[in-house]
Amino acid sequence: MIKDVIIKQLKKNEDNRGWLAEVFRTDEENYRGAMLYTSMTNPGISRGPHEHKFQSDFFVFVGPGEFDLYLWDRREDSETKGETMKIRVGEFNPVSVLVPLGVVHGYKCVSDIPAFSINFPDKLYRGEGKKEEVDEIRWEGREDSPYAME
């Protein structure tokens, strides 16, 4: 495990209507999101790897579809600096994942169908009114990137 990364198994409460899963509760999480977005990723496509200087991400992977999620701890002050994680998430392993700032992360759709994710970051994309620079250090597509998603 990587220090400060929180992976929470989501319990699907099923009945004849379908299912419902609690994802976030203020009485269980010491986290405050600033915005919410969802994305769909086509089979075989990756998002990332990248990291943030000021932002933490709170991802939700419940399906449809599945991802391989990759995490790398490159924080200088972390007791798990240099640790890596790979976990299959989504329809068959529904989870929320808190990714603290400074942890490189990315995911790849590994299902035969598009996969869906939700993110609840604690900072606004490009700041208030979208007037700031994007808070991302992008590693994808760089020849010198030490972060590979296979």
Q: Tell me the three-class secondary structure of 78-138, residue by residue.
A: CCCCCCEEEEEEECCECEEEEECCCEEEEEEECCCCCEEEEECCCCCCCCHHHCCCCCCEE
pTM for this predicted structure: 0.93
Token pair 């299902």 in the structure block, residue: 111
Of 133, 76, 138, 70, the residue nearest 102 (C-alpha): 76
At 131, list the tokens.
Answer: 């007037």
Contact predicate 51/108, CB 8 Å = no
Question: How does DSSP classify residue 54?
Answer: S
pLDDT at 141: 87
Contact 52, 59 (CB under 8 A): no
Structure tokens at 28: 């269980």
pLDDT digits (tens, 9 = 90+) for 89-124: 999 999 999 999 999 999 999 999 999 999 999 999
Share of residues in the chain with pLDDT > 70 (%): 100
* Domains recognised in the chain with CATH numbers: 6-10+39-126+133-138 (2.60.120.10)
The confidence score (pLDDT) of residue 29 equals 86
- In this prediction, residues 36-49 reach a mean pLDDT of 97
Cα–chain center distance at 10: 15
